[in-house]
Structure 1
Amino acid sequence: MDADQEKDLQKFLKNVDEITNLIQEMNSDDPVVQQKAVLETEKRLLLVEEDQEEDDCRTTLNKTMISPPQTTMQSTEEIDSEAFLASVEKDAKERAKRRRENKVLADALKEKGNEAFAKGDYETAILRYSEGLEKLKDMKVLYTNRAQAYMKLEDYEKALVDCEWALKCDEKCTKAYFHMGKANLALKNYSVSRECYKKILEINPKLQTQVKDYLNQVDLQEKADHQEKEAHKLLDSGKNTAVTTKNLLETLSKPDQIPLFYAGGIEILTEIIKECTEQTLFRIHNGFSIISDNEVIRRCFSTAGKDAAEETVCVSVLKLWQTVCSGNEENQRVLVMDRDRGRLLAALLSSRVLAIRQQSLALLLQLAQTESGRSLIISHLDLTRLLEALVSFLDFSDKEADTAMGLFTDLALEERLQVWYQANLPGVLPALTGVLKRDPKVSSSSALCQCIAIMGNLSAEPATRRHMTACEEFGDGCLSLMARCEEDVDLFREVIYTLLGLLMNLCLQAPFVSEVWAVEVSRRCLSLLNSQDGGILTRAAGVLSRTLSSSLKIVEEALRAGVIKKMIKFLKTGGETASRYAVKILAICTNSYHEAREEVVRLDNKLSIMMKLLSSEDEVLVGNAALCLGNCMEVPNVASSLLKTDLVQVLLRLAGSDTQKTAVQVNAGIALGKLCTAEPRNTPTSCSLPQPKQVEKWPARVTRSCRRKQSEAKT
């Protein structure tokens, strides 16, 4: 056997070994191993086809030029090897074809399983997912879906097995880790559950919020489990309070007693529950269900016109819930997550009976003290009804109103409520509009301010702001409240200040409710510029800086009201925020009317205030100051007088600077162009620019191109 034949034989034997291993792997029970073998086989088939093409070319060449004479008979080994390779190739192609067909069938079975799951038919769902896995053993979604169905049937061990198979298919399957965490939690394997949830965070750090919630659930359930063990020990020890708690619950479970029977028993129960152990005994002996499922107690809650006995029952139940939920997060969860009780809590908050309303508010306020309690309220209560009820407290005493708005504020700070608010704004907006239409003389000023402040915070979100400005009634409500407050600015100072904050956010939205609305808002703010209150002055100027550009009519009225003089005063004495608003107002006015430019030049000696603003680190101030200066240079002799200062160098620096806001560069370029074209003969020495001809063209071109962008300067 020559060297070439020996080499071919060794290659053949190596292929036989590799192909044998592949066949064994394709028959493996492990779907992951099987899948890798199929993919490797497909790669080998491609290589075989390429090698075959090369062999055909080489054979042709050998026959004509190179190869020595060949024997006419092939060896038995060569025939067998070719037949074996052909058989493997055929088998691999058939397997690939069957896999494609099985994938289609498995997808169809998955959809049928999903339909059954959605209907609550978990047994059928499991059957369909299992049928799908018979078609395709490495389809991870079938394992995770079946695991979820097993958990619905509380078969947590099987769910864990399926999750492990899913991770064999994809070691980064977060859905598998989620189900494993949940199953281990149900099995009280708390440390394992935590590890599963933490693994999700390792795989996808963006899921931090969700993982935090999952870990909180583990902590709460582990704590509740510990409490229940302690409670059972106490009950077994025969402690009086433990035994009494159990006996009282058995007594309260008697049906068809008079309302006062239940009220008395509940009051006694409330008195003896002092510690976490008694709270836990109440829960593990189904105290919540005994109370809320009692037909007599349910009638007491549902009756609109309650008599004294029914009122007593309702108040006693609410006090009991406060007692058993105080500091006990598991009891809070059991109370709120029940759909009927969750619906009842929101309804009782708007009760006509003062005592019921007060106790309902106290209970919700207690729940809202913790992050988990606020999450429960947002996730399980009827939020539209809850917010309507909280807003209705503005009609009552200052103390009640302040407490209700404090609860509203706590909830409004939660991201989940903000998301819910954006999605449900049309249903909530009428209640908020009603707040704006209230008479500030008969409402609690502090509570009214809190409610308006919440609206202001929510309106900072563009989507929410669009809804608000699109509602004409909401905009009119703002104007109506402003008008009533202006009757006594000193008395309603806080309300006006808060309302101006809301209006500032609303005026970020373009277009406004209407031009008429913008004009009216501007008039109100122009009137408030006469106030002696610095906060009101600043916010009134802030609103004006956002409404003036919408209409020349507003600018005209502002000029007649002496806005230029007031804004110059702002720049002399105001802080950075007030200066921002003032210089923007001046930029808008001077951009529109020559009279405004002349007044600025007259009041700002040598434009020193404007020039000083150019050295600010605030790009908004700098950009609008440059725009205002450029506008003022159109007043005769102003530009030529400024050539004697260092303004040219300052503007050159700004025009060529690398600022975040392009308005700075644009407006500085406009001002520089006007300055240099005012006295072209001075350009070479003053500006250190090219020769006069080039200078004449360059500033004109800059001016023409930049004029179109003047109105785009931002604050």
Structure 2
Amino acid sequence: MDADQEKDLQKFLKNVDEITNLIQEMNSDDPVVQQNAVLETEKRLLLMEEDQEEDECRTTLNKTVISPPQTAVKSAEEVNSEAFLASVEKDAKERAKRRRENKVLADALKDKGNEAFAEGNYETAILHYSEGLEKLKDVKVLYTNRAQAYMKLKNYEKALVDCEWALKCDEKCTKAYFHMGKANLALKNYSVSRECYKKILEINPKLQTQVKDYLNQVDLQEKADLQEKEAHELLDSGKNTAVNTKNLLETLSKPDQIPLFYAGGIEILTEMIKECTEQTLFRMHDGFSIISDNEVIRRCFSTAGKDAIEETVCVSVLKLWQAVCCGNEENQRVLVMHPDRARLLATLLSSKVLAIRQQSLALLLQLAQTESGRSLIISHLDLTRLLEALVSFLDFSDKEANTAMGLFTDLALEERFQVWFQANLPGVLPAVTSVLKTDPKVSSSSALCQCIAIMGNLSAEPATRRHMAACEEFGDGCLSLLARCEENVALFREVIYTLLGLMMNLCLQAPFVSEVWAVEVSRRCLSLLNSQDGGILTRAAGVLSRTLSSSLKIVEEALQAGVVKKMMKFLKTGGETASRYAVKILAICTNSYHEAREEVIRLDKKLSIMMKLLSSEDEVLVGNAALCLGNCMEVPNVASSLLKTDLLQVLLRLAGSDTQKTAVQVNAGIALGKLCTAEPSSDVNYLIEEAAKMEKIKFQHIVSIYGVCKQPLGIVMEFMANGSLEKMLPIHSLCWKLRFRIIHETSLAMNFLHSIKPPLLHLDLRPGNILLDSNMHVKVRALANPLLPFT
């Protein structure tokens, strides 16, 4: 936008401010201020009518004035402020209507501009955006879109002007700052470019990842710019290596020479490139294009069955690229961002010539050492083809296989690769599945483990896991590889351990590949529970804990294989992870079979091991332990024996706790219900012990205990004439004085119970246990175990 247009906009904004002030003055309580405002308004309306045609950018004004033109101007006292307000309101409505109409036209022109931009017609796009701005001058997206089109035409100055106008429309327009950053970067205004990108982060901190990439681009380009300046200086100074590099590139640019001519020249050039200066000169003198665009060299690369000379040319080029890209991120960018070279790199990695594959792998591994290099590979190479080539290295020697898997690992750790993998999994899955068909006796065990570990990490993403679990061939591949490795567990220990990790993730997905698959996996894991390796034992139990519930048949087989005894051993000697898997297996077994409950009780007579698990911070472990305890309480006399422990208080706490896993509350509640319905009548001595404890507790607001009644079984306490507060409240209306006394005396009773040593936690304070004597004084009914019956 030119200076005249900016002046017009500023004038318009000034008029808006002045009119706002006039309206406020006309509504003033001061008559003098009102009168002056009316006079000033009349003058402004007359002047605006005269000057209306002079301003092309201004929307047509309402010509209505306070005084009709055909009559003499009224005195200031006769001017009606309401008429002026009505005029302003009418004008505002007309402006709003015109704005809506212009908005529709501007949006249509914006869409036309976007279509032209997408087709690469940037000049046409600029025309459409400009027409849209003529309709409406405060649409920021038109400015930013036009700026982007100017950028494509390398008209960076105009792009910057449009970005500034977009920021006048919206000072928090991140898109404007983005284009300003790119334009300044192209103009080599590096510090300004950085400030623009940092401004984006101030406006929207969520864009930190993108801003980091933008700033990295600025750093790389500034670094490359400095390198080129230094290289120019050395070349101008006549330094031998610099001059020789330039001369040799000129020699290699000769067309239609024999392949050995180029191979020899490239090898000499490779030897010369030792420092950043030579690398930069190679780039400055278009070395990449000289090599990759040479028809003779291109034929050598494209020939399927390469002879020795063609192989020499290809290998020499790959070694040259390694030399010029080593530690030079700008050269890496120039190499990979060229579409033909990017396709070539992925193709050469699957070449039938071993030397070419090795050098291609070495080059890609070199690129992957930096974040920017990995980003280039992920953004510009055919990743499906690259992945297929990498997994094929498993059939090579240990060195090549481990190198290939190292590259695969570097890429798989990148978030962008993970996003790509998930989006393209249907096309990639055959290559991944082929890994599971590898013969562990032939392949490199360490490389195979690394590859399976990558798949395990990728399967942690639910969408990826869902695709893998839905592929029957993938699931069968896991089983098949596990079976082959079981032939020699000691030799293939690492492969089994890693594969079980992958299968654990797969088993998180419901439904499984199939019930038959889950049963077979369970059988394999039951077999592995006989291993002496702690890692394999833990992971086998982990997989089993996720597949066992798929079939009652496999639960029976597990019980026959002694799984309860093995899992109880896990609980006694294993760590928290092993305990987590073990208690889940026990919960599944005890939930279905009475024999499993009896065996748990036989191995843990007082259920002390299981009760100890309830104090864990792992909510999954606690929930399954509570479920297992509840199942075991169905065995006769178990629940009543647990009344003597503090299990009741623990279950009450868990059932009422605010846990993230609702299963903890549910399972604790079920166990609590079974405990509460336990019949303690067979243990009269226990009742006598409880009564003896409470008989020693003497306090004026605690119900006195007299003894035990054997028929019916219960504890005998003192008689309370007015019964419980629970029965009293619905019948009688208690005065406030009495209410406060009841609260006070109840508090005294609770304070007493908490003060004795050891403290007695009531755990069941409610109106039914607050009793009232004949004088309406409180006595709280309390027992060490609140589930015991009263008589």
Report the Cα offset of residue 675 of structure 1.
1.7
Residues of 2 paired with 1:247 and 1:6: CA distance? Answer: 54
| Deviation (angstroms), 1:451 | 0.4
Distance 1:65 1:309, change over 3 A: closer
* Alpha-carbon shift at residue 670 of structure 1 (Å): 1.4
**Given the superposition, is the C-alpha separation of residues 78 and 353 from structure 1 closer, same or farther in structure 2, using an over 3 Å criterion?**
same
Query: What are the superposed Cα offsets for residues 346-385 of structure 1, whole Å, 9 maximum, x if unpaired?
Result: 1101111011001000001101111111111111110000
Q: How far apart are 1:668 and its partner, in Å?
A: 1.8
Report how far residue 84 of structure 1 moved.
6.1
How many residues align? The count is: 707
Cα offset for 1:714? Answer: 38
Shift of 1:552: 1.2
The 1:249/1:709 distance shift into structure 2, 3 A limit, reads farther
How much does 1:54 deviate? 37
How far the C-alpha of 1:239 sits from its partner, in A, is 0.9
Structure 1 residues 632 and 713: CA distance shift in structure 2, 3 A: farther
Looking at structure 1, the residues matched to 671 and 160 of structure 2 have their Cα atoms a distance apart, in angstroms, of 72
Q: Distance in 2 between matches of 1:262 and 1:59?
A: 70
Change (3 A) 1:57 1:317: closer
- Quote the offset at 1:707 in angstroms: 29
- Paired with 1:31 and 1:141, the residues of 2 have a C-alpha distance of 47
How far apart are residue 664 of structure 1 and its match? 2.0
Deviation at 1:651, TM superposition (A): 2.0
Q: How far did residue 108 of structure 1 move?
A: 0.5
Deviation per residue, 1:654-684 (Å, 9 max, x gap) = 223333322222222211221221216xxxx
Larger CA deviation: 49-58 vs 168-177 = 49-58
Kept after mapping to 2: 8 A contact 1:673/1:702: no
Residues 651, 93 of structure 1: alpha-carbon distance in 2 compared, 3 angstrom cutoff: closer
Deviation of the 1:615 alpha carbon: 2.4
Closer, same or farther: CA 600–85 of 1 in aligned 2, 3 Å: closer
Whole-Å Cα distance in 1 between the matches of residues 660 and 253 of structure 2? 71
Deviation string 1:304-327 (CA, Å, 9 cap, x unpaired) is 000111000000000000000011
Q: Is the 8 A contact 2:528 2:536 kept in 1?
A: yes
Distance 1:56 1:181, change over 3 A: closer
1:190-236 superposed Cα distances (whole Å, 9 cap, x missing partner): 00000000000000000000000000000000000000000000110
In 2 relative to 1, CA 5–340 (structure 1 residues): closer, same or farther, beyond 3 Å? closer
Contact kept, 8 Å, 2:374 with 2:411, in 1: the verdict is yes
The answer on whether the counterparts of 2:611 and 2:625 sit within 8 Å (CA) in structure 1 is yes
Deviation at 1:696, TM superposition (A): 15
Q: Is the 8 A contact 1:670 1:703 kept in 2?
A: no
The reply on whether 1:315 has 2:382 as its aligned counterpart is: no
1:594-631 CA distance string (max 9 Å, x none): 11111111111222211222222322222211111110
Render the CA deviation track for 1:501-526: whole Å, top value 9, x for unaligned: 00000000001111111101101101
Distance 1:503 1:79, change over 3 A: same
Q: Note if contact 1:669-1:706 (Cα within 8 Å) is conserved in structure 2.
A: no
Change (3 A) 1:58 1:674: same
The C-alpha deviation readout for 1:378-415, integer Å capped at 9, x for no partner, is: 11110000000000000110110001001100110011
SS at match of 2:659: coil
* Structure 1 alignment gaps of length 5 or more: 681-687
Higher mean displacement: 47-56 or 289-298: 47-56
Give the Cα separation in 2 of the matches to 1:318 and 1:2.
Answer: 53
Q: Distance in 1 between matches of 2:64 and 2:547?
A: 91
CA distance in 2, matches of 1:42, 1:707: 92
Mapped partners of 1:336, 1:59: distance in 2: 53
Counterpart Cα distance in 2 of 1:639 and 1:52: 95
Alpha-carbon distance in structure 1 between the residues aligned to 2:56 and 2:256: 96
Change (3 A) 1:14 1:652: closer
Matched, 1:347 2:364: no
Separation (CA, whole Å) in 2 of partners of 1:314 and 1:30: 92
Structure 1 position 26, deviation (Å) = 20
Q: Is the 8 A contact 2:147 2:179 kept in 1?
A: yes
- CA positional deviation for 1:93: 3.1
**1:265-315 residue CA offsets vs partner (Å, 9 max, x unmatched):** 000101111110010000000000000000000000000000111000000
Displacement, 1:28?
A: 28
CA distance in 1, matches of 2:634, 2:276: 79
SS in 2 for 1:542: helix
Verify the 8 A CA contact 1:129 1:145 in the aligned structure 2. Answer: yes
The secondary structure found in structure 2 opposite 1:703 is: strand
Within 2, Cα distance between the matches of 1:373 and 1:12? Answer: 52
Distance 2:405 2:464 in 1: 20
Is 2:131 the partner of 1:131?
yes
Q: Structure 1 702/335 Cα, relative in aligned 2: closer, same or farther at 3 Å? A: farther
Decide whether the 8 Å contact of 2:587 with 2:627 is kept in 1.
yes
Comparing both structures, which one devotes a greater share of its residues to helix?
A: 1
Q: Any conservation in 2 of the 1:667–1:706 contact (CA below 8 Å)?
A: no
1:382 and 1:598 map into 2 onto residues whose CA distance is 60
Quickly say closer, same or farther: Cα 1:694–1:74, change in 2 above 3 A. same
Distance 1:713 1:477 in 2: 61
1:35 and 1:138 in contact (8 A); partners too: no
Report the CA distance between 1:644 and its aligned residue. Answer: 2.4
1:78 and 1:326 map into 2 onto residues whose CA distance is 87
- Structure 2 CA distance for aligned equivalents of residues 490 and 569 of structure 1: 23
Say whether the 8 Å CA contact 2:764–2:786 is kept in structure 1. no
Q: Distance in 2 between matches of 1:259 and 1:713?
A: 102
Separation in 2, partners of 1:523, 1:358: 42
Moved more, 79-88 or 420-429: 79-88
For 2:235 and 2:59, how far apart are their aligned partners in 1? 93
- The separation in 2 between residues aligned to 1:288 and 1:690, in whole angstroms, is 87
After alignment, is 426-435 or 67-76 more displaced? 67-76
Identity %: 90
Change (3 A) 1:286 1:636: same
Q: CA deviation at 1:24?
A: 17
- Give the CA deviation at 1:694: 17
> More deviation in 10-19 or 703-712?
703-712
3-state SS of paired residue (2:787): helix
CA shift in 2, pair 1:40/1:656, >3 Å: farther
Q: In 1, are the aligned partners of 2:174 and 2:203 still within 8 Å (CA)?
A: yes
Contact 1:655 1:664 survives alignment (8 Å): yes
Cross-structure match for 1:694 = 762
Distance, in Å, in 2 between the alignment partners of 1:544 and 1:86 is 81
CA change 1:491–1:87 in 2 (3 A) is same
Superposition deviation, residue 74 in structure 1: 7.6
Measured after TM superposition, the shift of residue 34 of structure 1 is 26
Query: Shift of residue 97 of structure 1?
Result: 1.9
Cα separation, 2, equivalents of 1:417 and 1:5: 48
Mapped partners of 2:433, 2:580: distance in 1? 31
How many angstroms does 1:478 deviate by?
0.5
**CA displacement at 1:13 relative to structure 2:** 20
Taking structure 1 as reference, are residues 354 and 30 closer, same or farther at Cα in structure 2, changes over 3 Å only? farther
Counterparts in 2 of 1:702 and 1:202: CA distance versus 1, 3 Å: farther
Q: 65-74 vs 556-565, which deviates more?
A: 65-74
CA distance in 2, matches of 1:705, 1:431: 72
- Secondary structure of 1:434's aligned partner: helix
Q: Retained in 2: the 8 A contact 1:31–1:137? A: no
**Conserved 8 A contact 1:663-1:714:** no
Structure 1 658/86 Cα, relative in aligned 2: closer, same or farther at 3 Å? closer
Q: C-alpha separation between the residues in 2 aligned to 1:90 and 1:664?
A: 67
Q: Which has the larger radius of gyration?
A: 2
Once superposed, what is the RMSD of the aligned Cα atoms?
10.1
Partner Cα separation in structure 2 for residue 509 and residue 249 of structure 1: 58
Which blocks of at least 5 consecutive residues in structure 2 are unaligned?
681-754, 768-776
Q: How does 1:396-407 map to 2 (within 5 A)?
A: 396-407=396-407
User: Aligned pair in 2 of structure 1 residues 677, 94: CA closer, same or farther (>3 Å)?
Assistant: closer
Task: Please report how far the alpha carbon of residue 21 of structure 1 lies from its aligned counterpart in structure 2 after TM superposition.
Answer: 8.0
Pair 584,177 (structure 1): closer, same or farther in 2 beyond 3 Å: same
User: CA separation of 1:391/1:44 partners in 2, compared to 1, >3 Å: closer, same or farther?
Assistant: farther
Match of 2:439? 439
707 and 150 in structure 1: CA distance in 2 versus 1, 3 angstrom threshold: farther
Provide closer, same or farther for how the CA distance between residues 710 and 92 of structure 1 changes in structure 2, counting only shifts above 3 A. farther
Q: Secondary structure at the match of 2:157?
A: helix
Point out the more displaced range, 190-199 or 235-244. Answer: 235-244
Residue 653 of structure 1 and its aligned partner are, at CA, apart by 2.6
Distance in 1 between the 2:105 and 2:667 partners? 66
Would you say the 8 A contact 1:32–1:169 is kept in 2?
A: no
Q: TM-score, normalised by structure 1?
A: 0.86
Q: Name the counterpart of 1:232.
A: 232
